[in-house]
Structure 1
Amino acid sequence: MRIFLGDKMAKYHIAVVGPGYIGQAHISAIFDNPRAELRTIGGTDRKKLEKLRFEQFACGRVTTNYEEIIEDKEVDIVYLCTPNRLHADEAVSALEAGKRVFCEKPMATTLEDCRRMVEAVNKSGCHLMVGHGARFRPLHISVKELYESGKLGEACFCESDYIHSLRSFLDGPGHQWWQHPDEGQFAVIGGGCHPLDLMRWIVGEFEEASAYGTTKVLHDVDWDDTVIATLKFKNGAVGKCLVSVGAPRPYAMNFSLYGTEGTVENNKLFLKAFGEVEQFTEMPLPVLGEVHNCADELEHFLDCLDADEPPMIDVRDGARTVAACLAIVESLETGKPVKVVTEF
């Protein structure tokens, strides 16, 4: 239940379902936001939930019963930080109960589930936001502004990578669900969604994808640990996306955009307007490692809810990024180019 002070929204009561690696990052952001209050933590292991409640995150209650969360009239927003394959059922139930939903990326693992979530948003009138946190990084915002201002000209080529060795995660607790068969090609859907979403957001929608994959390191999983995809944008630009989750090396999510008037490579900028200067200039913005933007995501979502406006990454936007991932997966399976679905 939202608490009002005069005409201004004071607090939203939030339930976080799935207090694992990213779930706890979101809980910390909720505690730090004066407009948010943690009402409930939901999960599958009551002992762990109680330990979390008393040792780290004080909240009204913990529960292993999801129905209790969506039936609680005090809960305004449900955060879904659960395995990707569960997002659709949980989101649809919450939306039907009149809750707003923050869904961790990827929004879903199938096109059918994406369509179910779109329909539930349409019918309920409740907002759903997808947690593609890379959109909130200052560097990526600046690159988008450069492109949209025309300073880079028309896009010729765009590439982005998701490079993240997952061996330590797979060997540790809490990430075994990555190997569930219904999670599909996890490296592409769960990892590749990061760069693919950035490419879509900055350059535009994809038209077609072709991909190759291999496994050289993570032989105990059923998905490729290295995937390279070539992409065609609807605006005529071409692109490339690398997903590498096996090879041992530091985390990186690179982004480059080559335009008719200039080029950006991470935080390095070159413009034709520079004249005879044959070198990049460095933008005063850092290339961040594995940093989550949970606080910025929460602040944005609350602003949108206050104004009753769709969030930047709404249900259809989330669906289009999933569709790009699934086109790459289909190309891996068929060895053929695949059209990317963009209508939801």
Structure 2
Amino acid sequence: MTDPRTDDTTGDLRLAVIGLGLRAPVARHAHRPGKGQAVVAAVDTDPRAHRRARDWFGDEVRLYTGHHELTSADIDAAFVITPDDTHENLVVDLLEAGIPVFVEKPLAITTAGCDRVLDTAHRTGTRLYVGHNMRHMPVVRTMRELIRRGEIGEVKAVWCRHFVGHGGDFYFKDWHADRRRTTGLLLQKGAHDLDVIHWLAGSYTEHVTALGGLTVYGGLPDRSGQPEGAVMPDWYDPDNNWPPRSLTGLNPVVDVEDLSMMIMRLEGGVHASYQQCHYTPDYWRNYTVIGTEGRLENFGDHGDTAEVRVWKRRSGYRTDADLVVPVPEPQAGGHGGSDPLLVAEFLRFVREGGTTDTSPVAAREAVAAGCAATESLRDGGRPVAVPRVPSEVARYFDRGQREPRQEATARR
């Protein structure tokens, strides 16, 4: 692969955005004309969405309804921020064309789809980056730093409860509710948390079992959907549609679970659990990590009151933890400031290569765990094994997407 130009005297890094829906604003963090990078092209199958691109990136942005018109001669990298079921084919096409890719999570909606993407990136040598922004969230980085410095000893268990308080609006009024487009919400929504669980534990899932169901939204009668061309902020109203059974405008197809629970055995003997509910009144994530010398737990996951508490002495119930670490205040940008950090890491990776805090293999492992759990859930909780990535592919990504000969050249 020919490296993108990095000399700002010859112009900005030229970027394209494919998909102008809910998550597309993440690419706005990359648009800095005259300061190193600029979005010069935008793609959406719905021409009505093109007005967003002009508003965000200026009247000179080139607009397309298909990605095949993009070439490596015209752009240096692309953001793929489209519905989940389109990721696999879009990313493979771009990688084959030699265009470095940022793809929003999940990497794909099947394990086989993820493996096809990884194989293409490995075979072509084109750089691949997956938008797991939670690895840049202050609460996650605070927990990981506490673990890495040995505050709770060796990690043995990770528990995560995800209270998806706005789940009805976010995931049951559009394509997210259709399992043909997502596989299920244990994958689509859970991919973030499964990746964090793996990152905190330092290992990937080997076996899973899961239970759950469509326990509330499946019985709601209004399946009128949303106006054509609308994206989620257009219909989201946190002051209405409560309690959950009052929801209207659900997607015509609703066949994903709104309540899910999975148990995981990870490599190295770590055990984990993940619970997800889409009709709680509150919206936040709670992690508990238990080690051989203590445990930690987050209270709040962003905002100026979030903190991580660590207990290290034996006792009964007590709220006064042995160590309380405030989570750094969120910076400007989405998801507690993690979105601009994510984009900055991607742009650095496009220019320089090397390792990143996000990982395509880890992104695949999160999808694989979510797929296996969904299979288990829909088959009465049957235990399901999670297949591994081929070792040579895993090593390639661990080395920062360099073959051994490339590593030797880079060291000289």
The TM-score normalised by the length of structure 2 is 0.75
Match of residue 240, structure 1, among 248, 252, 273: 273
Counting only pairs closer than 5 Å after superposition, residues 313-332 of structure 1 correspond to structure 2 as 313-332=358-377
Other-structure match for 1:41: 42
How far residue 74 of structure 1 moved from its aligned partner, in angstroms, is 2.3
Query: What amino acid sits opposite 2:309 in the alignment?
Result: L
Other-structure match for 1:284: 326
Query: What amino acid sits opposite 1:104 in the alignment?
Result: E
Query: What amino acid sits opposite 1:249 in the alignment?
Result: P
Other-structure match for 2:86: 86
**Residue deviations 1:187-246 (CA, integer Å, cap 9, x gap):** 11110111111000110211211110122222161011100111112121221101112x
Other-structure match for 1:223: 256
- The separation in 1 between residues aligned to 2:288 and 2:122, in whole angstroms, is 35
Other-structure match for 1:106: 106
Query: What amino acid sits opposite 1:241 in the alignment?
Result: Y
- The separation in 1 between residues aligned to 2:283 and 2:90, in whole angstroms, is 31
In the alignment, structure 1 segments of 5+ residues that lack a partner are: none
Conservation of the 8 A alpha-carbon contact between 1:127 and 1:314 = no
Counting only pairs closer than 5 Å after superposition, residues 243-254 of structure 1 correspond to structure 2 as 243-245=276-278, 247-254=279-286
Conservation of the 8 A alpha-carbon contact between 1:128 and 1:315 = yes
Other-structure match for 2:170: 169
How far residue 313 of structure 1 moved from its aligned partner, in angstroms, is 2.4
Structure 1 position 15 matched with structure 2 position 16: yes
- The separation in 2 between residues aligned to 1:106 and 1:137, in whole angstroms, is 17
- The separation in 1 between residues aligned to 2:208 and 2:178, in whole angstroms, is 25
- The separation in 1 between residues aligned to 2:123 and 2:182, in whole angstroms, is 29
- The separation in 1 between residues aligned to 2:362 and 2:315, in whole angstroms, is 38
Counting only pairs closer than 5 Å after superposition, residues 168-317 of structure 1 correspond to structure 2 as 168-169=169-170, 176-203=174-201, 204-219=203-218, 221-245=254-278, 247-266=279-298, 267-272=307-312, 279-280=320-321, 281-285=323-327, 291=336, 293-317=338-362
How far residue 282 of structure 1 moved from its aligned partner, in angstroms, is 2.5
**Residue deviations 1:57-88 (CA, integer Å, cap 9, x gap):** 3152111021012x251211111111111111
Conservation of the 8 A alpha-carbon contact between 1:160 and 1:256 = yes
Q: 1:216 to 1:65 in 2, by over 3 A?
A: same
Percent identity reads 24
SS at match of 1:16: strand
Q: 1:158 to 1:4 in 2, by over 3 A?
A: same
SS at match of 1:119: helix
Other-structure match for 2:157: 157
Query: What amino acid sits opposite 1:300 in the alignment?
Result: E
Query: What amino acid sits opposite 1:65 in the alignment?
Result: G
Other-structure match for 1:140: 140
Conservation of the 8 A alpha-carbon contact between 2:102 and 2:131 = yes
- The separation in 1 between residues aligned to 2:207 and 2:73, in whole angstroms, is 44
SS at match of 2:12: strand
How far residue 296 of structure 1 moved from its aligned partner, in angstroms, is 0.6
SS at match of 1:47: helix
Return the structure number with greater strand share.
Answer: 1
SS at match of 2:45: coil
**Residue deviations 1:251-282 (CA, integer Å, cap 9, x gap):** 21222201111211113322427999963143
Conservation of the 8 A alpha-carbon contact between 1:232 and 1:238 = yes
Conservation of the 8 A alpha-carbon contact between 2:142 and 2:308 = no
SS at match of 2:268: coil
How far residue 163 of structure 1 moved from its aligned partner, in angstroms, is 2.5
Structure 1 position 342 matched with structure 2 position 342: no
- The separation in 1 between residues aligned to 2:74 and 2:22, in whole angstroms, is 26
The TM-score normalised by the length of structure 1 is 0.89
Query: What amino acid sits opposite 2:114 in the alignment?
Result: C
How far residue 27 of structure 1 moved from its aligned partner, in angstroms, is 2.6
Q: 1:122 to 1:192 in 2, by over 3 A?
A: same
Give the root-mean-square deviation of aligned CA atoms.
2.6
- The separation in 1 between residues aligned to 2:63 and 2:15, in whole angstroms, is 12
- The separation in 1 between residues aligned to 2:127 and 2:213, in whole angstroms, is 38
- The separation in 1 between residues aligned to 2:85 and 2:353, in whole angstroms, is 28
SS at match of 1:254: strand
SS at match of 1:75: coil
How far residue 170 of structure 1 moved from its aligned partner, in angstroms, is 5.1
Query: What amino acid sits opposite 1:301 in the alignment?
Result: F
Q: 1:194 to 1:117 in 2, by over 3 A?
A: same
**Residue deviations 1:145-166 (CA, integer Å, cap 9, x gap):** 2212222111232112333232
- The separation in 2 between residues aligned to 1:167 and 1:343, in whole angstroms, is 34
Structure showing greater Rg: 2
Structure 1 position 2 matched with structure 2 position 5: yes
May I ask how many residue pairs the two structures share in their alignment?
335
Deviation larger for 308-317 or 221-230: 308-317
Conservation of the 8 A alpha-carbon contact between 2:158 and 2:272 = yes
Structure 1 position 65 matched with structure 2 position 66: yes
Query: What amino acid sits opposite 1:4 in the alignment?
Result: D
